[in-house]
Amino acid sequence: KVRVRHKFGIISHFHRHELLERMSASAAANPVSPRSALPQPCEITHEFITAYNTTHPLDRKALERQAEQLLERIKRRAGLGGKNDGNNTHIPRAWVELCLMARCNGPIRNQVYLTLFSSLLTSKISVANIPSLFLIAETVLDWVKALAVPEGDIPWSREHVLILYIAETCFTRIFIHSVLYNLQGCDSFLMDLNWHLDNLDFIKKVYSQFLEGEMVLEHITSIKAVTVGLIEDSKNVYKTIMGDSLMHCLEYYQSHSIGRDLNTSLSSLLSCVVVLGSDSHVITDMCWRCLAVVCRRSLLSLQVLQTAAAASLPLAPAQNNTTSGSNSIGVLHFRDWPWVAAVQYVRLMEDVAVHGTTSDVRRGALVAGKLDTVKVDGVV
């Protein structure tokens, strides 16, 4: 008698073949229908978006639960789950999925806008994100146009605020990529974006009645000039993109970032302040952002900016002409700035008053002190 199993549970060769024959015969006698391909559990499809929008709000609890699961997965993919880097992080795909999720009507849309805005603020500047960034820019322009229906008095809703902040942050990132020369070879993206940037005059009737809306429109319009210059590939496009004020501001910001004594580089700050507001809106906005970072840590920079804005900077006669051109600190005044620069100056003071690193800096943003003596590049 031949044993079926050996001592250690190994099936004998003869009974192994017999078992395989019986299994093959059973499979042939009872065929199993192939399983239909199931969609991924957290995949955004056109069918889901259509079902969500066509179902009555009282009958779509299951769809809302699925939408929340989709959004949580996108948040982790966008790096908003606590870590910006990881195996689950794929920011370009997350941005595309957020643009698709925004087609769902209902309360979930504002959550999608907030997630997209947070991701644009926190994600790193990367060349891999450029195609998705242009998709967001074109999509957000469609959102802006859709909300700009000139019918009576339109209330300033949360949806308007989030869309405008997304537009400002997105176009700021495009400008940063242009300064870093990351848009070389992206002519097709730039041409498509210019097509979407045309015919924005009709939306000014709605957004011009709000300060935030007017500023974002100025921001978008100035970006269009940058993209046109990149497409034309002018020889002086880099100087046109940067502007004199941003060049001087970045020089002063670099002195702060490397830990150099700011007393030795005040001429860069003064040169920036003199021409501030003469460039495009996006360049002026970038200057204020850089100056806000410096003023949070440097009381001297804050005081120089305050006294220069009040046209009361105590410079010696020989130092009044240290800046290039015919402008001088003596003729500069807060009231002489363009309204956009003046508004951003007030916001800089608010930012420093809240986020200043020391109590002296926060107090200086609220109550401007007197500046008796100023040394420009170490010269009294």
**Which pLDDT tens digit goes with each residue over 112-145?**
999 999 999 888 888 999 999 999 988 988 888 7
- Whole-number pLDDT of residue 263: 66
Task: Examine the pLDDT at 370 and tell me if it is beyond 50.
Answer: yes
Q: Average pLDDT in the 285-305 region?
A: 86
Give long-range contacts, CB 8 A cutoff, 24+ apart: 193-200: 193/134, 193/137, 193/138, 193/227, 194/224, 194/227, 194/228, 194/231, 196/137, 196/138, 196/141, 196/142, 197/141, 197/221, 197/223, 197/224, 197/227, 200/145
3-state helix, strand, coil in the chain (%, to 5): 65, 0, 35
User: Which ranges constitute the DSSP H helices of 184-280?
Assistant: 187-197, 204-207, 211-232, 237-257, 266-275
- Helix (H, G, I), strand (E, B), or coil: what is residue 376? strand
Contact 194, 188 (CB under 8 A): no
Please tell me what DSSP assigns to residue 37: P
pLDDT in tens, 64-123: 888 898 899 889 888 886 655 556 788 999 999 999 999 988 888 889 999 999 999 888
pLDDT in tens, 327-361: 334 434 556 667 777 778 888 888 889 988 888 88
- Whole-number pLDDT of residue 366: 83
Contact 125, 173 (CB under 8 A): yes
Rounded to the nearest 10°, the torsion over CA 115, 117, 120, 121 is -110
Task: Examine the pLDDT at 1 and tell me if it is beyond 50.
Answer: no
Q: Please tell me which residue, 180 or 133, carries the higher pLDDT value.
A: 133
Distance, in Å, from the CA atom of 342 to the CA atom of 281, rounded to the nearest integer, reads 12
Distance, in Å, from the CA atom of 50 to the CA atom of 52, rounded to the nearest integer, reads 5
- The string over 309-345, giving b where at least 16 C-beta atoms fall within 10 Å of a residue's C-beta and e elsewhere, is beeebebeeebeebbeeeebbeebeeeebeebbebbb
Beta bridge partners of 11: 5
Task: Examine the pLDDT at 35 and tell me if it is beyond 80.
Answer: no
Q: Average pLDDT in the 195-218 region?
A: 72
Rounded to the nearest 10°, the torsion over CA 150, 154, 157, 161 is 40
> pLDDT grade, residue 318 (50/70/90)?
very low
- Whole-number pLDDT of residue 113: 92
User: Which ranges constitute the DSSP H helices of 318-377?
Assistant: 339-355, 359-366
With a pLDDT cut of 70, the percent of the chain lying above it is 70
Please tell me whether the overall predicted TM-score, pTM, comes out greater than 0.85 for this model.
Answer: no
Mean pLDDT rounded to a whole number for the chain: 75
Backbone angles phi, psi at 375, to 5 degrees: -105, 125
- Treating both helix axes as pointing N-terminal to C-terminal, what angle do 46-54 and 61-77 enclose, rounded to 10 degrees? 140
User: Which residues lie below 8 Å from residue 342, measured CB to CB, with a gap of 6+?
Assistant: 334, 335
Greatest mean pLDDT among 37-41, 105-109, 148-152 lies in 105-109
Task: Examine the pLDDT at 250 and tell me if it is beyond 80.
Answer: yes
Instruction: Tell me the residue length of the chain.
Output: 380
